[in-house]
Amino acid sequence: MRVLLIDDHPLFAQGLTFLLAELAPDVGCATARSVREALAQPGPFDLVLLDFNLPGVTGLEALAEVRAHFDEVPTVLLSGEEKPDVIRAAIDGGAMGYVPKSSTPAVLLAALRLVLAGGCYLPAQLLAGLWPESAAAPAPELGALPTAQGRTAWAERLALTERQLAVLQRAIQGKSNKVIARETNLAEGTVKAHLSTAFRVLGARNRTEAVFRAAQLGMNVGER
């Protein structure tokens, strides 16, 4: 497994590199101090960790550049910023995780394992601040999406077709409509229609809220 770490603080990056060795016995870590350096790194990568506070660029600008270049690789943001509107924008920009730098090593490793398994990580203490009206929603006991049985169970539970669920799954993984259309052999207009239906069923207004609702319901969206 290969991880790309983008952070301009050498001491923090070195410490994180040692910690990442606990993710898997064969993990390899490439480091870059800027987005420009990162884009020049030879891939492929299985995970990108991005400092949200790089000099000379906003966090969302850096995220957009990274997502455009590594469009099928999950990106997790590491940040000292914990404002709900910033987290909303980051998830809407395609990040599959947002980990405060105040987190413990155990929390960070758990978050990365969740993302590598196909999930999306949001700090538990911040969820109520993001969507307080939904904080108490129950999580149904259903199978994970990667299995045929799990997909069927979720489709029936949400009253979606399996094709609509497949489109939703990829959207939650941070994939663009263009990529989803290519992977599912659908027209982009059809992808948009399926997403509109799925968002309505989830009670979500956009991808950001769909990611939250999926995490809240306990959906594991599986391999990318």
- Common-topology check for domains 2-130 and 134-217: no
Within 10 angstroms of residue 159's Cβ, the number of other Cβ atoms is 9
Distances (CA, A) of 109 to 9, 70, 191: 20, 22, 33
**Can you tell me which residue has the tokens 């924008």?**
89
The residue extents of the domains of the chain are 2-130, 134-217
Asked if the model's pLDDT at residue 127 lies above 70, the reply is: no
pLDDT, position 216? 67
Query: The whole model's pTM is what?
Result: 0.64
Question: Burial letters for 4-35: b for 16+ Cβ neighbours within 10 Å, e otherwise?
Answer: bbbbeeeeebeebbeebeebeeeeebbbbbbb
pLDDT level of residue 132 (50, 70, 90 thresholds): very low
What is 2-130's CATH superfamily? Response regulator (3.40.50.2300)
Q: Which residue would you say has higher pLDDT here, 132 or 119?
A: 119
| Distance separating alpha carbons of residues 174 and 176, to the nearest angstrom | 7
Report which secondary-structure segment, H or E, holds 173: none
Question: Of all residues in the chain, what percent carry a pLDDT higher than 70?
Answer: 81
Q: Is the peptide bond before 55 cis (omega within 30 degrees of 0)?
A: no
Q: Which residue would you say has higher pLDDT here, 207 or 12?
A: 12
pLDDT, position 135? 41
pLDDT level of residue 133 (50, 70, 90 thresholds): very low
Provide the CATH number for the domain formed by 134-217 in this structure.
1.10.10.10
**Can you tell me which residue has the tokens 């307080």?**
132
Over residues 138-193, the pLDDT tens digits come to 333 333 444 455 556 776 777 788 888 888 888 877 677 888 898 889 998 899 89
pLDDT, position 39? 92
